[in-house]
């Protein structure tokens, strides 16, 4: 018969182990939450030459003016609405150009307005990934995105994907052209010139 003291010690050890495991899980989850929140706070692009388009989401920050600091989508007509400013054209401008326009508008109300415009979501420029991928569909086109980078967002390839014959369909001068991309060769460091920069409305097809 086991000594009751031995049983008690084993039970306490098991309980302590469970508590430590739970604590580790909470710590890991808390860290993951912090990473997710940190990622969510990052801009969608830092490219100063990025041209804002309809459906993009912008963060407008006016220093010391919390009521004017908002996150707004660009409407289909290319405009955004802000307190005091009302409607202002955003589509077709870079974040810096829009910052200058807003600053000029707000000078009517403040002596030295300090404005910052950040692109939080890119929705106006998309590429399409089709065929033998885990998650086919439309994806936001970030500046300088390559074929390889776009494919990495689609969740992997299907079992029967023909990775030697991936191609990009692009419309140029009213005609559709086919640009080949040999994925298998590229990951071996060959034919790197096929890893082109994507343009809005490109379609990547994985047969």
pLDDT score of 68: 87
pLDDT tens column, 60-107 = 999 988 888 999 999 999 999 998 888 999 999 999 999 999 999 999
Please list the residue range(s) of the chain that carry CATH number 3.10.560.10.
126-206
Helices marked H in 42-153: 95-106, 147-152
pLDDT score of 46: 76
| Residue 159 CB partners (closer than 8 Å, separation 6+) | 132
Q: Spell 30-57 as b/e; 16+ CB within 10 A means b.
A: eeeeeeeeeeeeeebbeeeebebbbebb
pLDDT tens column, 9-62 = 444 545 445 454 444 434 333 433 443 333 344 566 778 888 999 999 999 999
Structural contact between residues 91 and 72, judged by C-beta atoms closer than 8 angstroms: no
Tell me: pLDDT of 171 over 80: yes
The CATH number of domain 126-206 is 3.10.560.10: yes
pTM for the full predicted model: 0.63
Please list the residue range(s) of the chain that carry CATH number 3.30.1950.10.
57-121
Q: How far is CA 91 from the centre of its chain?
A: 19
pLDDT tens column, 108-141 = 999 899 999 999 998 999 999 999 999 999 998 9
**Any idea which fold 57-121 has?**
wza like fold (3.30.1950)
């Amino acid at each position: 018969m086991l000594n009751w003291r031995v049983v008690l010690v084993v039970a306490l050890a098991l309980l302590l182990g469970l508590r430590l495991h739970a604590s580790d899980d909470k710590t890991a989850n808390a860290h993951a939450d912090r990473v997710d929140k940190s990622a969510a706070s990052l801009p969608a692009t830092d490219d100063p030459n990025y041209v804002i388009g309809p459906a993009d989401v912008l963060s407008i920050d006016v220093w010391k003016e919390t009521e004017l600091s908002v996150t707004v989508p660009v409407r289909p007509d290319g405009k955004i609405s802000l307190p005091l400013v009302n409607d202002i054209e955003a589509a077709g401008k870079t974040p810096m150009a829009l910052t200058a326009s807003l600053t000029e508008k707000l000078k009517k109300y403040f002596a030295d307005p300090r404005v910052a415009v950040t692109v939080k979501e890119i929705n106006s420029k998309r590429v399409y990934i089709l065929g033998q991928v885990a998650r086919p569909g439309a994806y936001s086109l970030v500046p300088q995105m390559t074929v390889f980078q776009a494919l990495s967002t689609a969740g992997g390839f299907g079992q029967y994907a023909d990775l030697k014959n991936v191609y990009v369909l692009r419309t140029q001068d009213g005609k559709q052209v086919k640009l080949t991309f040999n994925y298998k060769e590229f990951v071996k460091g060959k034919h790197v010139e096929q890893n082109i920069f994507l343009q809005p409305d490109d379609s990547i097809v994985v047969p």
